[in-house]
Amino acid sequence: MKNSELKNGIKLIYKKVPGDITSFCIGFNGGALEEEGFPLGTAHAVEHMVFKGTKNRSEKEINKLCDEIFGFQNAMTNYPYVIYYGTTLSEDFNLGIELFSDIVLNPIFPKDGFKEEMNIILEELKEWKDDLYQYCEDELLYNAFDKRRIKNLIIGTEESINSITIEDLKRFYEKYYKPDNMVISVATSLSFELVKDIVENHFENFKTEDKSLRPEELTIKNHTSVKLYENNNHGVFVKLKEEINGAKIQYCYPIHDLNDEEMKALRLFNFYFGEGTSSILYETIRTKNGLAYEISSDIKEERGIKLFTITLGTSKNNVEKAIRLINESIEDIKNNKEFFTKEKIESASKSIKLKKALRLEKSIQLAKDLTCYELMYNSYKKVYDEVENLSCIDGEKINRLINRVLNFPSIQVLR
């Protein structure tokens, strides 16, 4: 792996991988967390509108070239970042990166098609709410927090989407689409020197007017520009939705105060508690009691989110029993100081490393992760480091951690 910084401040990360394809990801620290002073959903709307035409190409030309050059391409707005990514034949990397450089560097935000694109986003909002697990999560975050950006959808609300103007998009773009707020990662068999030359050729002239972000706004370097975290409102929240027959349940526990070593301990705990068909949750809720088809726990480690969650679906008549059994399972493992033996920790460490390696086998996923980790943590190496030396963590540390973290959850019931 190699990294470099262009003269204008763009960070370039390179990973050599075998094969005939090249994947790349262009990212900005310009996600929904940065929308203070803008309507909710502005970051996502910018991501849509940069594809509507540039100084050099029409929307139709962009769409045609995307189909011709890329085997896969997409864009995504998350709370902490926005990314543009794709996979080409290595021989076409220059064509692919040139097209995407034009899209992110030269958008014109045309009035023609703006209203139609906002209508598409409104339709996307409706589809988002049709996913019952997503709907349950959205309700949970809304009820669990008072001021955090994650209490509202990345996409915004119907009211906020309707209030977005082209001027809002231009202001947001000018503020956050800047070279010193940008990371490009490339996973390829091409040489580093060639990749660097190609990237420099298309991005070295990317300069902005002297409207530099204040140091506290450059969240790529300093993640304290906004209040990202707060303690949760604990308790059980119930949302009634007439058109569903069963029920969805989701827990969340804040984990924003954990350091890297503590996050590793939490991964080891989660491996046994809520991952896979041999986990404590699966055995208790499904195998022994037949209360759910699927149940799992997850660690959401992204900047601005940082939550430990539990998710399941059950019948409306089994909600109280499921919650009781989950709570009992948590207390049982918190009180079992002998559970995390050296052998169990070593076994979990190998499995966690294997799953990470399988994830990063896909070059597009590797490129995305390298960009996102650099944006969120200012360290692309964390992609690999977060699963190193897991076996060095002792069971006592894991037990102390879960006794500190797994208290006073926010629990959302959708029924």
**Beta carbons within 10 angstroms of residue 2's beta carbon:** 12
**pLDDT by residue (tens digit) across 72-83?**
999 999 999 999
Please compute the mean of the pLDDT values over residues 3-7 and round it to a whole number.
95
161, 210: one domain: yes
pTM of the model: 0.93
193, 317: one domain: no
Does residue 370 belong to any structural domain of this protein?
Answer: no
266, 193: one domain: no
260, 162: one domain: no
Q: What is the mean pLDDT of the chain?
A: 94
CA dihedral 112, 115, 118, 119 (to 10 degrees): -120
The count of structural domains within the chain is 2
325, 241: one domain: yes
72, 181: one domain: yes
Residues 6+ apart with CB under 8 A from 31: 43, 77, 78, 79, 80, 81, 82, 154, 304
Does residue 355 belong to any structural domain of this protein?
Answer: no
401, 259: one domain: yes
What does the alpha-carbon distance between residue 390 and residue 397 come to, in Å, rounded to a whole number? 12
pLDDT of 36 over the 50 cut: yes
pLDDT number for residue 220: 39
Which DSSP letter does residue 54 get?
A: B
Map tokens 């207390």 to a residue: 331
**pLDDT by residue (tens digit) across 392-403?**
999 999 999 999
Secondary structure (3-state) at 156 = coil
pLDDT of 211 over the 80 cut: no
Does residue 271 belong to any structural domain of this protein?
Answer: yes
Bridge partners, residue 308, by sequence:
253, 299
pLDDT of 175 over the 70 cut: yes
What does the alpha-carbon distance between residue 252 and residue 412 come to, in Å, rounded to a whole number? 9
Does residue 74 belong to any structural domain of this protein?
Answer: yes
pLDDT of 23 over the 60 cut: yes
pLDDT of 218 over the 70 cut: no
Tokens coding 48:
């849509």
- Annotate 225-262 with three-state secondary structure: CCCCCCCCCCEEEEECCCCCCEEEEEEEEECCCCCHHH
Does residue 112 belong to any structural domain of this protein?
Answer: yes
Does residue 389 belong to any structural domain of this protein?
Answer: no
CA dihedral 323, 327, 329, 331 (to 10 degrees): -170
**CA triplet 309, 313, 316: central angle to 5 degrees?**
125
Per-residue confidence band for 209, with pLDDT thresholds at 50, 70 and 90: low
171 neighbors 70 (Cβ within 8 angstroms): no
Q: Which of 225, 243, 254 is nearest to 141 (CA)?
A: 254
Does residue 381 belong to any structural domain of this protein?
Answer: no
Print the domain residue range for 267.
235-340+394-414
Residue 222, CA atoms < 13 Å, CB-side half-sphere: 9
- Indicate the residue type of 136: C
Q: Identify the domain boundary among 154, 186, 217.
A: 217
Can you give the CATH number for the domain in which 110 is found?
3.30.830.10
Lowest mean pLDDT across 74-78, 162-166, 241-245, 250-254? 241-245
**pLDDT by residue (tens digit) across 256-294?**
999 999 999 999 999 999 998 999 999 999 999 999 999
What does the alpha-carbon distance between residue 415 and residue 413 come to, in Å, rounded to a whole number? 6
211, 64: one domain: yes
145, 74: one domain: yes
**Beta carbons within 10 angstroms of residue 221's beta carbon:** 13
Please compute the mean of the pLDDT values over residues 231-256 and round it to a whole number.
94
pLDDT of 385 over the 70 cut: yes
Please compute the mean of the pLDDT values over residues 157-178 and round it to a whole number.
96
260, 326: one domain: yes
184 neighbors 199 (Cβ within 8 angstroms): yes
DSSP H or E segment with residue 314: strand 307-315
249, 304: one domain: yes
Top pLDDT among 211 and 107 is at 107
pLDDT of 216 over the 70 cut: no
What does the alpha-carbon distance between residue 357 and residue 369 come to, in Å, rounded to a whole number? 12
Does residue 196 belong to any structural domain of this protein?
Answer: yes
pLDDT of 221 over the 70 cut: no
Beta strand 307-315 with 246-254: parallel, antiparallel or unpaired?
A: antiparallel
pLDDT number for residue 129: 81
Q: Which of 74, 91, 90, 79 is nearest to 26 (CA)?
A: 74
96 neighbors 69 (Cβ within 8 angstroms): yes
**pLDDT by residue (tens digit) across 110-166?**
999 999 999 999 999 998 888 899 999 999 999 999 999 999 999 999 999 999 999
pLDDT number for residue 243: 81
pLDDT of 219 over the 60 cut: no
245, 166: one domain: no
pLDDT of 192 over the 50 cut: yes
